[in-house]
Amino acid sequence: MTSAPIDTLLSNLSTLAPRSVMIANDIHHLRNLRGPQELRNRLEREGVPRTTLSFYRYVRLIDVEALRHTLYQEWEALGVLGRIYLSQEGINAQLSLPTANLDAFRANLDSRGTFREVPWKIAVEDDGRSFLKLAIKVRKKIVADGLADDAFDVTNVGAHLDAKTFNRKMEEGAVVIDMRNNYECLIGHFEGAYLPKADNFRGAIDEVVEALKDRKEQEVLMYCTGGIRCEKASAYLKHEGFTNVAQLHGGIIDYARQLKAEGLKSKYLGQNFVFDERLAERITEDVVSTCMQCGTKSDRIGNCHEATCNMLLVQCETCAGKYADCCSPSCREIHQLPMEQQRIWRKGRSTRSTKTKAINDPEGLRQRIREEETILAEKGTLHPELTVISQKPN
Ligand SMILES: [Zn+2]
Ligand SMILES: [Zn+2]
């Protein structure tokens, strides 16, 4: 590595102190303290190839807080960046690390009984910039599934299918269920799959149970990004009386790897939505979605560039130019203000809300755009309050 970050220095220093003392004193160092641009620059300077991978395991973990701090130190020293959830029920990790450290990372995982030989899935499309920082979070659950685990047998999961078997069963006419949220299914999914409209796991699973309530004997194939959500979803469906439930082992990520390795034909069309800086990885060249603003075929996905909106968008190149990467004329007007005025306007407004509502109602978005264009043509602005802002002294 070209940069010798202060964290390395700190973690070297910290090995001199007994671990318990170090943890008591230096916990505040065990998290990222840098801004996004600085993080981007750091990744740029690093100049080594990175590998993006993910894994999960449902396993009983004890003293999760202490484990979190230890893992942070050990993995940071290996150059790991990513988002890792730990809980008493296990680990769910998405991360990238210098490819040269893969063996050392494997050894690190295998050194713990709880993570020994945990299978990982390597991303098929990777520019090495999937994650900017390392975040290890302690949560109640490793997936926010909204299910009461004590109400059903979470270990009674569906049969785990490899890509080849999954394809064959699709051809035999099994029902295919996408267990992801609406915005994930949008730009890619299995041919003919049922795509839930809900934007959260709990909503999606209720929707599936309702939609298939008269077909509980039929074979159901479910899939998600990396397989973790199907672990719970398949057990829940069985609890609900479904008798023939199977799930795609390793999810879409590993399906893509198996396609390449075995020369199989993909029944998954388009892109796989991922939860990192890449947003998506391409599985096939098919385009299964349309631009939310003009309706032409497109699977170019992004967020509205107006920071307080941040709405997830499928937006074609033409509309991106027309609306300055924003969802609407209203957001475009703010986004095109001088930085200083944008800052004043943003004050007190949340920047963390990711609105996804246009996904189920793109026509509603188009209607809003038409209305805004009309007002804009009449009045020259969609934000009359901006005249006050521009008069404010800096
Ligand atoms: Zn468009
Ligand atoms: Zn917007």
Ligand 2 centroid – CA 286 distance (Å):
27
Q: Is residue 175 included in any domain, yes or no?
A: yes
At which residue do the structure tokens 């199907």 appear? 230
pLDDT of amino acid 354 = 54
Q: Is residue 288 included in any domain, yes or no?
A: no
Q: Kindly state whether residues 35 and 130 are assigned to the same domain.
A: yes
What's the rounded Cα separation, in Å, for the pair 204 and 195? 9
Q: Kindly state whether residues 11 and 131 are assigned to the same domain.
A: yes
Given the residues 224, 291, 327, 331, select the one marked as catalytic. 224
Q: Kindly state whether residues 90 and 155 are assigned to the same domain.
A: no
**Token pair for residue 126?**
């990777």
Ligand 2 centroid – CA 368 distance (Å):
11
- The CATH number assigned to the domain holding 57 equals 3.30.70.100
Q: Kindly state whether residues 115 and 16 are assigned to the same domain.
A: yes
What's the rounded Cα separation, in Å, for the pair 236 and 149? 9
Q: Kindly state whether residues 194 and 316 are assigned to the same domain.
A: no
Q: Kindly state whether residues 238 and 316 are assigned to the same domain.
A: no
Q: Which residues of the chain have a pLDDT value below 70?
A: 1-29, 351-356, 389-394
Q: Kindly state whether residues 156 and 180 are assigned to the same domain.
A: yes
Q: Kindly state whether residues 71 and 157 are assigned to the same domain.
A: no
pLDDT of amino acid 304 = 93
pLDDT of amino acid 392 = 53
Q: Write the DSSP string, 24-78.
A: HHHGGGSS----HHHHHHHHHHH-S-EEEEEEEEE---SSHHHHHHHHHHHHHHT
Q: Kindly state whether residues 13 and 134 are assigned to the same domain.
A: yes
Q: Is residue 182 included in any domain, yes or no?
A: yes
Answer with the one of 104, 138, 172 that is the final residue of a domain: 138
Q: Quick one: which ligand is closest to 319's CA?
A: 1
Backbone phi, then psi, for 173, in 5-degree steps?
100, 15
Ligand 1 centroid – CA 293 distance (Å):
5
Ligand 1 centroid – CA 136 distance (Å):
38
pLDDT of amino acid 2 = 35
**Token pair for residue 285?**
């060249």
Q: How many CA atoms are closer than 13 Å to the CA of 283, on its beta-carbon side?
A: 27
Give pTM, 2 decimals: 0.80
Q: Is residue 143 included in any domain, yes or no?
A: no
Residue of 80, 91, 83, 142 whose CA lies nearest to 115: 91
Q: Is residue 284 included in any domain, yes or no?
A: no
Q: Kindly state whether residues 387 and 351 are assigned to the same domain.
A: yes
What's the rounded Cα separation, in Å, for the pair 233 and 247? 9
Q: Is residue 292 included in any domain, yes or no?
A: no
Q: Quick one: which ligand is closest to 321's CA?
A: 1
Q: Kindly state whether residues 133 and 10 are assigned to the same domain.
A: yes
Answer with the one of 271, 291, 309 that is the final residue of a domain: 271
Residue of 147, 139, 279 whose CA lies nearest to 203: 147
Is 224 known to be catalytic? yes
Q: Kindly state whether residues 91 and 27 are assigned to the same domain.
A: yes
Ligand 1 centroid – CA 361 distance (Å):
15
Answer with the one of 92, 119, 138 that is the final residue of a domain: 138
**Token pair for residue 340?**
């200083």
Q: Quick one: which ligand is closest to 316's CA?
A: 1
Q: Is residue 278 included in any domain, yes or no?
A: no
The total number of structural domains that make up the chain: 3
- The CATH number assigned to the domain holding 207 equals 3.40.250.10
Q: Is residue 295 included in any domain, yes or no?
A: no
DSSP 278: T
Q: Which helix (H) or strand (E) holds 312?
A: strand 312-314
Straight-line distance from the first to the last Cα atom of the chain, in angstroms, rounded to the nearest whole number: 43
Residues within 5 A (CB) of ion ligand 1? 291, 293-294, 316, 319
Rg (CA), the chain: 23
What range defines the domain where residue 233 resides? 149-271
